[in-house]
Every structure is written in structure tokens, then in C-alpha cells.
Chain A
Amino acid sequence: MIRTCDVLVIGGGPAGLAAAIAADKEGAKVILIERESRLGGILKQCIHDGFGLVRFGEKLSGPEYAERFIDEFKERGIEAKTLTFVTSVERIKTGFKATIVSREGIEVIETTSLILATGCRERTSKQVFIHGTRPSGVFTAGTAQHYTNLLGQLPTKRCVILGSGDIGLIMARRLTLEGAEVLGVYEVKSTPSGLTRNIHQCLNDFDIPLHLSHTVTRVFGQDRLTAVEVAKVDEKMKPIPGTEEIIECDALILSVGLIPENEIAETLDVQIDGRTKGPRCDATLMTTVPGIFSCGNALHVNDLVDYVSESGETAGKNAAHFALGMERTLVEIKPNENILYIVPQVLDIKAKNDAVVVYFRSKDVYNKATFRIIADNKIVFEKRYAFLRPPEMEKIVADFSKFNLREYSTITAEVEVDAK
């Protein structure tokens, strides 16, 4: 039997939940697919607090934040299929045909709009070049978090953390609280990757040293990790001979970055932005394929879940509207060299565009800089910043409605740094 819906949401984390709720509010028939047994995505294991400050004005833990959305999702009677995996999605005349597999077997769902809320994945040891044996005890910060916070098993007694991403910092504190010894955090770059507050509340509070411009060069151990070799790196991030040091430990925890998960998008020929590693989207968060929307960490890696939910709502609302059928005219928003990335990457000039939410990250740490959006030589938006840091995503709202944009218009986004 083939089932049909207006909006099919893939992923039941914060982005997918917000998208499903928003699409349901617009009157669309929604089905959400989640491969795990419970909704909530990665927030289930993010038991630390700090979620929801922007949205609720409260410091919630991950489960508390997720469950607020799950409660609303259930109250609305939206259908969720858990322990269900999407094996393929094909384009059909009326939209998309998804093949799903669950304990009930294989099923086919036809939908007009498709929302990809598949989140992101952690970079693994295979993606970081480390020499040596392949013992157990080398895992990602997210895996350590899963063991500790969901299974109640402490995966290490004495560990080294490579990379200063936020999950690594959070896990440094968490493992310390549970009695493990965190010997140090090693970061190959000269600036930390995680939020400044996490350096303070997760490392400094517990006297855990942060070694910038350092990396792990080798691992030792047969069955289980017994030690790692760390070394200082030069400006080109190459280890400096003679600076090696051996540290005895039973685990190496990696917090070396997140990559948006877009395997389904790629099979549907959705264009991926090389900067964000997520789909190229317009302000409705529709990708380059009409009817396919992207949100949350699948779109670009966010540092606050509040923005993940916000993008989910945008995608959900617009995916519901798409059922009515609207043609788009897209104009690119071109970032200058001081911008790491910008979302959306394109603007549908036929849309209302009076309150376009724009997210961006700077390429480097800049003190005193101006962010500007220019359309056909006119300033659409301008804001001064005391500082811009790549780990801290900036969000602004711009009004493009008064600029009479045409297909041949040029839109640029720039960060101009004050002369030193």
C-alpha cells in the first residue's frame, strides 16, 4: 500500500520536530521518520544545560528542551514513525517517493514536500591522520557522551581529548564530574574551536589544561590504548620534530568537528555548498531542488539549538506552503573573503523577503568589523561588531523588500575589518 502526505520530515531531532510542528500548524498532513526508538535526536544525550536561552529565556538541559517540542508534537497528533529508516528517495511527478523500512517491513510514502532534518555527524579518527596501532579506546566525544549519559557506563579512567570543539569541552567536564581524569585538551589551531564560555566552565573550572597549536601524532597499545604521542605544531599545523611527548592514558577522545549529513540530498542531486557542507538554500530554506527543504545541522552546523529549531520552523512552514505550487527566481548572495559562510546562499526574489533571517560566520577572529549586505550598490543591512569569532555564529534579520530585486541583481555580503 502506498501512503501519501503533504510534508515528509526525515529526522526527529530538534530541527525535524520544529519543522513537523510548523508544517502541521499550516494545515499540512505531516509524517516524520526517525531511525531511533525515541524522538529528540542528539539532545537525548546532551544532559548539560544552556539550551533554550534565546527561545525560552531559560537554561534548559537537552532532554528538557527536546521534550517541550515532543510534548507539542504529540498534542498535535502528528504521526511519527520511529525505529524506521529511509532507504531511498526518488523524484516522481507529484513530488517524491520515499521507501522506508521498519519492524513492520518495507513501506512506500509519496509526498509533495520533503524536509531533510538529518543533522550532522562527528568527524572520526579515520578523517584525522594519526599514526600507530588501532587499539580500542579511540572514539568521538559524542560516543563518550552516549556511553556516559545514556548507557551509564564510564568509557575511560584517564583520557586525552583531541580538538577543542564544544562537545569535547562538555565531555571534559562531564567525565571529570564522574571521576575520570582528563589530562588535557589538545587543539591543532592557535585559537579554540568551542565557545569561550565552555573553555571557562568546562576546562578552567576543573583545572584541565588546554594546549593550543598541539596535536596527537601517534597512538600506542594493542587491545586497548595505553598512550598517545602529542607534539607542538608550526603555523602550517605540521608537527615540530623534537617537541613530542608521550602521555599514558586509556582513551583518546576526538572532538574535531561536525559535518552536515546529506547522503539523501546527494542522491537527489541537491547542490551542496562547499563552505557549509549543507544544501544551497534560499530564504525559505528550499534547496536547489524544488520541494526539498533543509534545516538544522544538516543545513549548516549551528552552535545553538535555538537556531536549529528556528530553521526547522522556517523549513516546515514553507514546505507546507509549497504544496500550493510557486515558481522561484533565485539570485545568489555572494560572501566576501572574510566570511566563512552565509545562509541562505540564494534569495527567491519573488518571495516577500521583508524579514529574511541570515546566519553567518566570520573566517577569522576580527576585532571591530562591519557586516554589510549590499544589493545593486545599495546597503540593505549594516551592523558593527566589537568582535567576530568563527565559533560563534551570528544571526541578523534583513529587509530586502524595498530594493526592487531583479533576476540580474547582484547581492553581496561582506565583513569589512577596521584598519589596525
Chain B
Amino acid sequence: MKIVCITCPRGCTIDIEKVGSDWQVSGNSCNKGREFAINEMTKPMRTICSTVKTTFPSAPVLPCRVSADIPKDKIFDVMKEINKVVVDKPLTRGDVIIKDVLGLGVDVISTSDLLAQI
């Protein structure tokens, strides 16, 4: 099976085959590529970057992301949670917006000091 690694802009095409209980991986340029390929076959993970609404007229949305990768099939569920939030405090970069979103063990965090600057 051929997959394209999305870990970095190099975008290596990786060959992965199951041999017995082991994965045979080739075409990757680093260890992260191997890890990505195996994850992709077993439990594909992705990140989400989005925005949350705010009550501040001059900055109606605040950029956010998940603090670590989440299962690919949970993307739209997490998006629903993100779209429920309205931020009314001047959160700064790294502040938690949603703690342990959907019990996935990751937080939704702010990625900008935008609200503290206006």
C-alpha cells in the first residue's frame, strides 16, 4: 500500500505492507514517516485548526487548534464542539478553550494573543 506522509512538506511516498505481525515500511526519509505510515494503517490521526466565536466586535473570531492529534474520524465531532464556544475573556496564546474535548484527552487551545492586543 502506498501512502503520502503529511508530517512535513517533503511529502514522501511511503510503501507499507503487513508481513506477519510486523509492518514493512520503505520510502520514508525519517522515523516520523515510519510512525505516520503505521498509524495511518491502524489509527489515522489528524490535527484540527479552526476559530471560535468571541464577544469582541473588533475580533469576532479567535484562532484555535487541538493540543495534540485526534482520531481522523472524530474531526467533525470536535468541530461541532468548537463551534458551540463563544469566548468572552481576552484569552492569550496557549490558553485552554475546551478542556479534554469529547474525552479524547486533548484540549482545544487558543493560538493567538489577538484578543489581548485589541
Contact = CB atoms under 8 A, between A and B. Distances in A.
A336 to B, nearest CB: 25
A392 B83 CA distance: 34
A35 interface: no
Contact of B72 (A148, A151, A195, A205): A205
Interface string B80-118: 000100000000010000000000000000011110010
A96 B75 CA distance: 52
A64 B92 CA distance: 11
Given A200-B6, A205-B72, A64 B46 contact: no
Contacts of B26: none
A151 B51 CA distance: 10
Contacts of A47: 49-51, 63-65, 111
A303 to B, nearest CB: 7
Contact of B61 (A49, A149, A177): A149
A196 B114 contact: no
> Which interface class (under 10, 10 to 19, 20 to 34, 35 or more) fits B?
20 to 34
Contact of B51 (A64, A152, A197, A304): A152
Interface in B36-95: 46-51, 53, 60-61, 63-65, 72, 75-76, 79, 83, 93
A303 B62 CA distance: 25
Given A200-B4, A205-B46, A205-B72, A63 B11 contact: no
B114 A63 contact: yes
> Which interface class (under 10, 10 to 19, 20 to 34, 35 or more) fits A?
20 to 34
B61 A196 contact: no
Given A151-B60, A303-B9, A304-B9, A48 B4 contact: no
Contacts of B93: 63-64, 67
A38 interface: yes
Contacts of B72: 205
B1 interface: no
B43 to A, nearest CB: 15
Contacts of B63: 47, 61-63, 149
A195 B8 CA distance: 10
B16 interface: no
A50 interface: yes
B51 A61 contact: no
B6 A61 contact: no
A201 B46 contact: yes
A53 interface: yes
A195 B11 contact: yes
B9 A53 contact: yes
Nearest to B53: A152
Contacts of A151: 60-61
Given A48-B49, A61-B63, A63-B111, A177 B5 contact: no
A396 interface: no
Contacts of B4: 196-197, 199-200
B112 A63 contact: yes
A53 B11 CA distance: 13
A197 B112 contact: no
Contact of B11 (A59, A177, A197): A197
A197 B33 CA distance: 12
A50 B117 CA distance: 24
Interface in A51-75: 53, 59-64, 67
A5 interface: no
A150 interface: yes
Interface string B2-31: 001111111101000000000000000000
B51 A392 contact: no
A67 B111 CA distance: 9
B48 A177 contact: yes
Contacts of B111: 47, 60-61, 63-64
Contacts of B112: 63-64, 67
Interface of A: 38, 44, 47-50, 53, 59-64, 67, 148-152, 174, 177-178, 195-197, 199-201, 205, 303-304, 392
5 contacts: A49-B47, A61-B63, A177-B79, A178-B79, A304-B9
